[in-house]
Amino acid sequence: MIISLLVAMDENRAIGYENRLPWHISSDLRRFKSLTMGHYLVMGRKTYESIGKILPGRFMILLTRNAGYQAGGCIILHSLEDAVRYAEAAGEQELFVIGGGEVFSQAMQFAERLYLTIVHERVQADVYFPEIDENDWQELESNYLPASEMDQYATTYRILEIKSAAIT
């Protein structure tokens, strides 16, 4: 099973502000839906609460330290390792980690693929994506999209694969 991180971040690696995304980029939301449809998604409680709903056509694994936390339609687990085991046992081929900052930090050590949306802007933020050592990753794809009526900011979509995985 491939463990992938899927994130939109600005040029300073900012990913959130006051428990929400600091932008609305329609093309990125369409890409997110296309990539994740039919897959298991792993997220922290705050990310789930910021989304505010179940995402149709996906299996949502919510990580929380609170043993009594409930969220209808979600699989509640308490560690990233448990989430990986759960998805693997279910036959998942590619598990998507979608945030937030703490979950991304934990998941970087397991990540084999990164789906990055680089938002060409610098926004106010209080949550950041971990640093990426570009020497450890091979770029598989990079596509620049200019700002438009639908997308307030220019973006670059990148797919990176860990070099050790790319060699095998």
What is the structure's pLDDT at 16? 97
**Average pLDDT in the chain:** 96
Place of tokens 């060699």: 167
Please name the residues in contact with 74: beta carbons below 8 A apart, sequence gap of 6 or more: 48, 54, 60, 61, 62
pLDDT band at 168 (very low <50, low <70, confident <90, very high): very low
The model's pLDDT over 26-85, given as tens digits with 9 standing for 90+, comes to 999 999 999 999 999 999 999 999 999 999 999 999 999 999 999 999 999 999 999 999
CATH superfamily entry for domain 2-167: Dihydrofolate Reductase, subunit A (3.40.430.10)
Please report, for the chain, the start and end positions of each structural domain, with discontinuous segments joined by +. 2-167
Reported as a single tens digit per residue, the pLDDT across 88-146 is 999 999 999 999 999 999 999 999 999 999 999 999 999 999 999 999 999 999 999 99
| Distance (Å, whole) CA 137 – CA 134 | 5
DSSP annotation of 131 reads P
Residue 165: the pLDDT is 57
